[in-house]
Homo-oligomer: A and B are copies of this chain.
Amino acid sequence: VGTGEFEVVAWLRSRFPLVGDDAAVVGDGLLLAADAIVQGVDFSARSDLALVGWRAVWVNCSDIAAMGGRPEHLLVSVIAPPGVEVQAVMEGVGAAASAHGCEVAGGDLSSTSGPLVVSVAVTGSCDGQPVLRSGARPGDGVFVTGPLGGAAASGYALSRGLARLAEGGAARLAGATAMIDISDGLAADLGHVLDASGVGVILDDVPVADGATLEDALGGGDDYELLFTLPSGVDAPADSIRVGTISDDVSRRPPAVAGWQHRFT
């Protein structure tokens, strides 16, 4: 077994069948997801602690948005070295929870000799059927919810971003066949949809954020826009941007870019 992140994830999916989408769908429509952010990887030692807390909530809510669901409860574990003001982190968590319409239900505090870690789990619900990564079909249009590459162009500066909850719900109601949030870059995340659906893609035109390059848009992560596919002839929700078409030729892949697994800074 390889030790690259994607290889380990592939092993995890074979070992734990519920793992694979942005959030797991369990029992009667409960959505479950978790994401941890780590100092030195996702933010720096100089980052504003409230923005760190906000970001930990945002990225988790984005996983629920990518299913077409709504976040409900958060569990927040803060693993902090001496001197880190945990309350500042948790004020950011609380503000982001309110902004996303969910509530902190519990968590854990622990000390560490290492970098700050904020590990969040989220529960969510969905009025209808959650949208998986695996339903894209040849001929479907491929859409994103906004221009890409802005986070990379900003040097991955932390901000008070909001998960695309309304957009994810609208895509689900419009009949989206597959959906994912763009956390690792368009090329990588669209690649996950293609792999899960057993299809290829023909990209037309990728919307590039102000100040960003096409490479940022294809390879830069952390934008947390959504990507979804819709059958041809279906009206896309307002403000969504068409970027291409699903192909039955699995050899048609997004352009190769350096991608983004994890930065070590």
Contact = CB atoms under 8 A, between A and B. Distances in A.
Interface stretch (A23-31, A136-144, A206-214): A23-31
Contacts of A5: 109, 111
B262 A12 contact: no
A28 B200 CA distance: 42
A16 B104 contact: yes
Contact of A75 (B12, B94, B117, B121): B121
A106 B25 CA distance: 10
A94 B26 CA distance: 17
Given A27-B72, A30-B30, A19 B264 contact: no
A112 to B, nearest CB: 5
A33 interface: yes
Interface string A1-45: 101010011011001101100011011001011111110111000
A113 B115 contact: yes
A100 interface: no
Contacts of A75: 32-34, 121
A191 to B, nearest CB: 17
Interface string A36-67: 11101110000000000000000000000000
B15 A94 contact: yes
A19 B103 CA distance: 10
A32 B77 contact: no
A114 interface: yes
A33 B41 CA distance: 26
Interface of A: 1, 3, 5, 8-9, 11-12, 15-16, 18-19, 23-24, 26-27, 30, 32-38, 40-42, 72-73, 75-77, 79, 85-87, 90-91, 94, 103-115, 117, 119, 121, 123, 262, 264
A111 B42 CA distance: 10
Contacts of A113: 40, 114-115, 264
B109 A9 contact: yes
A192 to B, nearest CB: 14
Contacts of A32: 73, 75, 105-106, 123
A83 to B, nearest CB: 9
Contacts of A76: 34
A18 B87 CA distance: 17
